[in-house]
Every structure is written in C-alpha cells, then in structure tokens.
Amino acid sequence: MKWEGISEFVYVAEYESFTQAAKELGISIAQVSRQVSALEKRLNIKLFYRTTRKISLTEEGQVFYQHCRAVLDGLDAAEQAVSTLQSKPQGRIKLTAPVTFGEQQLLPLINDFMLQYPDIEVTAFLSNQKIDLVKGGYDLAVRIGRLRDSTMMAKKLGYRTNYVCASPDYIDEFGVPQTLADLSQHNCLLGSVDYWHFKEGSADRNIRVSGRVQYNSGYGLVDAALKGLGIVQLPDYYVQKYLESGELVSFLDDYREPEEGIWAVYPQNRHPLPKVKVLLQHLQQNLPL
C-alpha cells in the first residue's frame, strides 16, 4: 500500500500535468488521478493545487516530492547496479545541453555512441535555460563556460575557443582594433550579454561593448559579421569554417581566453551510473581537450 500512487504523484509533480504523467507512465489519465487522490486520502494531506489552467505542488507536496524523488532515484540506482552484471550498459539516459552546441557538436557524437551501445536509449532536451536536473529527473547536463557555485558535481569533457573576428570588408573600412580599449570605437555585434571575455596577462577581463545589433542567435550574428555589419565574438563551432575560408578574419588573438570548459554536471548525491559513465568517456575521447 505504501508504494501505491508514488510514481504517479512524482510524474504529475514533475510534468505539472496529469495528461503528460499518464503518457510517460503508459497508463490512463483516470488511473493517474485515482492513484493520486487515493494517496492524498491515505496521507490526509493535499498534495496539489488544481485549477483549470495549472497544477502545482502545495507546501506539503513539495516536501513529500523531495523524499519520493530520492526513493525513486534509489530504485533506479539499484536497477542499474544489477545491470552492471551484464556485458553491456543499458537503459535510458536523460540529458540537457545548450541548443547550438547540442545540435552541432553533441548530438552527432551521441548518435555515434548509440551505434556502439544498442541497448541504451537517450532523451536529450536542448535549451539555453538552466534546467533543474533533480526535479526534471535528468541524469546530467552539458554546460559551457564558468560554472556557478552549486551542489552539483562536474566533470570536464573538453573545451571550446572564442574568436573575435570580422569580415575583410569591415576591416578595410574601419580597421582592426589593436587593444581591448579600441573596441569602444567599433560596432560590436552583441549576443545575450553586453560584454566579451578576454585574458590580459594572467587576469580575466570582461569588456563592455556596444553596437547596433543585439541577437540571441549565434547564426544571426555570424551572418551580420559576414555581411560587414561589425565585429563579433563567438565560439569556434560558429566561425571556424569562415576563418579557414578567409570570409572572416580573427584578431586580438593575444587577448583570447585559452579555452572555455565544456562540462558534464550531475547531482551530487547521484553517482554516474554505468550507462552514463560510458557516455562521458565517449564524449571526453571525441571533444577537443
């Protein structure tokens, strides 16, 4: 009796939807609703606030969810521990990663990985937002750059390099900045923030820049740079082929940060399972280090 309704409750809490919970569990919406209602009755507490538009946890529901999530994680870990007795890692890996890096770099490597491990399934959610790994039931997140202080564990997978560059047409008309201070005299193509990262000697520098363009799209910024609208700072996977073809020219190389880390991040109390370990090894072997 104590286990009845627990999975249904956790899935509803995480998806904030009885319909999605039923879909994920492979049962009917009515069955999910009955199990959750029976659980509330057995506990004599209200677990959810329900309106026609939204479902959210009550304060008691939040506390109960944290404990139930830990219990289900423990069961998953127990199942994976048993699976290590078999010859091949197996099971589902759920991960999240930034959109462009995921599309260009990560997912092709995961596709290669899945050819080697046919018993592993992968669900990847690409987002530039920071996802709550515990609440979402994720095994890991791939994140880039400086990591914020947190209780998460981190493993370095590789690195990326940022380049400051512009088109030959822009350089012919406006010249090349020789120092970081010279950037204030140029039209800088901005992304989601109005500063760029540099290294000056041994010191990290964040230089505030400005310009006529601000996009939250790397592809849009590359196109603007190619068309001579200004100077851009972007990771290698956006600009490398244009640098090689000469369509973009890199400068301020002496101030370039040597690297930005590419990290696998996972909850501190959730050790990487065998299926996750082999994926991390694969990524470490194939991302630039």
Concatenate the DSSP letters of all residues of 242-284 into one string. Answer: HHHHTSSEEE-GGG--S-EEEEEEE-TTSPPPHHHHHHHHHHH
* pLDDT, position 37: 93
Distance of CA 54 to the CA centre of its chain: 26
Would you say the CATH fold of 91-158+261-286 matches that of 6-83?
no
- Give 162-258's CATH code, choosing from 3.80.30.20, 3.40.190.10, 3.30.70.1150, 3.30.1330.60: 3.40.190.10
What one-character DSSP code corresponds to residue 12? H
CATH architecture of 6-83: Orthogonal Bundle (1.10)
Q: At what angle do helices 18-25 and 29-43 cross, to 10 degrees?
A: 110
* pLDDT, position 82: 67
Pick the closest to residue 167 from 249, 232, 44, 237 (CA basis): 249
CA angle 263–265–266, rounded 5-degree value = 160
Report the number of secondary-structure helices (H) and strands (E) in the chain. 11, 13
* pLDDT, position 272: 67
- Please tell me the CATH code under which domain 91-158+261-286 is placed: 3.40.190.10
Q: Which residues contact 52 (CB under 8 A, 6 or more apart)?
A: none
**Contact call for residues 249 and 169 (beta carbons, < 8 A):** no
**Contact call for residues 143 and 263 (beta carbons, < 8 A):** yes
Query: From the first residue on, what is the mean pLDDT of each consecutive set of 10 residues in the chain (289 residues)?
Result: 84 91 90 92 92 88 91 80 63 91 91 92 91 86 79 84 95 94 94 88 89 91 96 92 96 86 80 82 83
* pLDDT, position 1: 58
* pLDDT, position 5: 87
**Contact call for residues 157 and 270 (beta carbons, < 8 A):** no
Q: Where are the domains of the chain?
A: 6-83, 91-158+261-286, 162-258
Per the rule left: phi > 0, alpha: psi between -120 and 50, beta: everything else, 236 is alpha
67 phi and psi angles, rounded to 5 deg: -70, -40
Structure tokens at 110: 């995961």
What one-character DSSP code corresponds to residue 147? P
CA angle 170–165–232, rounded 5-degree value = 90
